[in-house]
């Protein structure tokens, strides 16, 4: 009987929602004119940014800061996979796994060895300026970051390894110092929270960090749940001062001689810096966050900033839309965007393509070749599908498929098969660019921000 009620309720809800999207005089079939958008007003702008990941977010920001009218399109779900670390350049050559403490020297070495890498199309002053502008935006939005301007730092991961990165949220900075000092430190995890183990961190680092201790506590207010999720905890800390006080009470007896306390990244979505300071005051020692396995709260914070701050900067954001069709016309591009089907038309003088690779659906892999999904641009790739991967799954050099993407000129315009710009006013930024393996090189955020900065400035020089 309960199964019957469930099916009936589901079908009724689906039909009701479908019907309410139609005009009262229409029948259900008459309302399904997915390709007829003649009654929709065309949205016009100077720049359309396709993509809502780090590169798309940066491109929309830089354009808005320069007074350009912007429409941004994309599904913001992918950005929640961000760890919160902003990598600039950490590893080169990949095969040797050489780690660099000086990211600027690493970029010099990289561009000498790989002259087709996107960084080779950039001046260092552009990289610096782009990163500075982006970090200022994050601080203004309530998510301050810390860095050592000319140096990488070693950051702690959720599995107890360390990685070189350039910049971390302020809520993670005490962890950088604790790791450097090897000070007595307590790592806290929580009953029923999966994907984060203080014991695993200690087992991995314990030999070189003898003052590392662990404890496990119950998260206040969620003791009766079968499973616990970081987002639940973060939102509870955002909106309940009582929850913060009870969390401090649960942790404080375990601190003892610890000079730092680390815990998973759960210190709120909107007020992480204030929550960290409040807990530090109550517990009595500096607190730091460690990113959990993705998707996680640090990425969620970035998504919330994107969805809140871009419209405030007069960016027209379509955060759950896809570009179904793009047409090149005199004076620019016509983009047909929507959710399940085209719903809106955007006319843009210029376009920045920051749609990512496979996860962002900027590239798609067919049986024989990899295609760019919107403009069918030429994609740099191995000549045969057999060349996409190495025989060894864990090959230290990575797989060739990790470096596929769009080749560009110095103005960051994608090139066609003859080596010329595919379109005069189409630009590209971020991970869709070829000749880089951002994950292994530890350069993802720097690459996204710096190439977006350069693409926007190139846009300003081009008349549609």
The CATH number for 219's domain is: 3.40.50.1860
Residues 56 and 143 in one domain: yes
CB 344 within 8 A of CB 318: yes
In a domain, 65, yes or no: yes
| Final residue of a structural domain among 240, 258, 290 | 290
In a domain, 14, yes or no: no
Distance (Å) of CA 184 to CA 19, 251, 339: 62, 15, 51
User: pLDDT, tens digit, for every residue of 322-355?
Assistant: 999 999 998 899 999 998 888 999 999 999 999 9
Residues 114 and 101 in one domain: yes
Q: What is the mean pLDDT of residues 319-323?
A: 90
pLDDT given at position 410: 95
Domain range for residue 169? 158-290
User: pLDDT, tens digit, for every residue of 343-393?
Assistant: 999 999 999 999 999 988 999 999 999 999 999 999 999 988 888 988 888
Helix (H, G, I), strand (E, B) or coil at 333: strand
Residues 188 and 319 in one domain: no
Spatial CB neighbours of 20, under 8 Å, sequence gap ≥ 6: none
Residues 226 and 321 in one domain: no
pLDDT given at position 463: 61
| Final residue of a structural domain among 262, 290, 318 | 290
CB 454 within 8 A of CB 121: yes
The CATH number for 436's domain is: 3.50.50.60
pTM for this predicted structure: 0.89
DSSP string, 187-203: EEEETTB-S--HHHHHH
pLDDT given at position 39: 54
Backbone angles phi, psi at 262, to 5 degrees: -110, 150
User: pLDDT, tens digit, for every residue of 211-230?
Assistant: 999 999 999 999 888 899 99
In a domain, 365, yes or no: no
pLDDT given at position 2: 41
Domains contained in the chain, number:
2
In a domain, 410, yes or no: no
Residues 198 and 281 in one domain: yes
Residues 50 and 165 in one domain: no
Q: What is the mean pLDDT of residues 269-285?
A: 96
In a domain, 21, yes or no: no
Task: Count Cβ atoms below 10 Å from residue 11 Cβ, excluding itself.
Answer: 10
Q: Bigger pLDDT: 68 or 194?
A: 68
Q: What is the mean pLDDT of residues 115-141?
A: 97
Check pLDDT > 90 for residue 205.
Answer: yes
């Amino acid at each position: 009987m309960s199964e019957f009620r469930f099916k009936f309720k589901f079908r009724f809800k689906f039909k009701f929602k479908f019907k309410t999207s139609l005009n009262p005089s229409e029948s259900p079939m008459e309302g399904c004119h997915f390709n007829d958008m003649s009654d929709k007003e065309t949205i016009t702008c100077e720049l359309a940014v396709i993509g809502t990941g780090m590169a798309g977010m940066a491109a929309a920001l830089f354009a808005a800061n320069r007074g350009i009218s912007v429409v941004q399109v994309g599904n913001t779900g992918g950005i929640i996979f961000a760890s919160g670390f902003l990598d600039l350049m950490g590893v080169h050559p990949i095969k040797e796994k050489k780690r660099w403490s000086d990211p600027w020297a690493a970029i010099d070495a990289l561009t000498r060895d790989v002259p087709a890498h996107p960084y080779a199309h950039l001046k260092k002053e552009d990289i610096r300026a782009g990163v500075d502008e982006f970090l200022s935006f994050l601080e203004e939005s309530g998510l301050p970051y810390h860095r050592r301007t000319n140096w990488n730092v070693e950051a702690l991961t959720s599995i107890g390894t360390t990685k070189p990165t350039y910049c971390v949220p302020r809520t993670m900075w005490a962890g950088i110092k604790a790791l450097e000092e090897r000070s007595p430190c307590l790592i806290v995890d929580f009953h029923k929270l999966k994907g984060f183990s203080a014991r695993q961190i200690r087992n991995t680092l314990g030999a070189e960090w003898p003052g590392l201790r662990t404890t496990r506590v119950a998260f206040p207010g969620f003791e009766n749940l079968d499973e616990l999720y970081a987002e639940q905890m973060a939102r509870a800390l955002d909106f309940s001062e009582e929850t913060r006080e009870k969390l401090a009470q649960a942790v404080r007896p375990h601190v003892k001689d610890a000079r730092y306390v680390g815990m998973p990244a759960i210190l709120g979505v909107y007020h992480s810096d204030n929550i960290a300071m409040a807990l530090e005051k109550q517990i009595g020692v500096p607190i730091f966050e460690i990113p959990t396995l993705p998707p996680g709260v640090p990425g969620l914070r970035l998504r919330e900033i994107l969805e809140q701050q871009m419209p405030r900067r007069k960016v027209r954001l379509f955060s759950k839309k896809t570009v179904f069709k793009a047409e090149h016309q005199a004076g620019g591009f016509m983009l047909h965007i929507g959710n399940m089907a085209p719903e809106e038309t955007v006319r843009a003088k210029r376009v920045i393509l920051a749609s990512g690779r496979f996860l962002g659906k900027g590239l798609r892999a067919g049986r024989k070749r990899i295609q760019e999904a919107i403009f069918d641009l030429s994609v740099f790739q191995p000549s045969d599908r057999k060349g996409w991967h190495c025989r060894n799954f864990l090959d230290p050099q990575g797989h060739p498929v990790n470096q596929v993407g769009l080749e560009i000129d110095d103005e960051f315009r994608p090139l066609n098969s003859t080596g010329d710009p595919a379109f005069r006013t189409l630009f590209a930024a971020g991970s869709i660019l070829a000749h880089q393996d951002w994950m292994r090189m530890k350069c993802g955020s720097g690459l996204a921000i710096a190439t977006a900065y350069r693409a926007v400035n190139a846009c300003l020089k081009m008349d549609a």
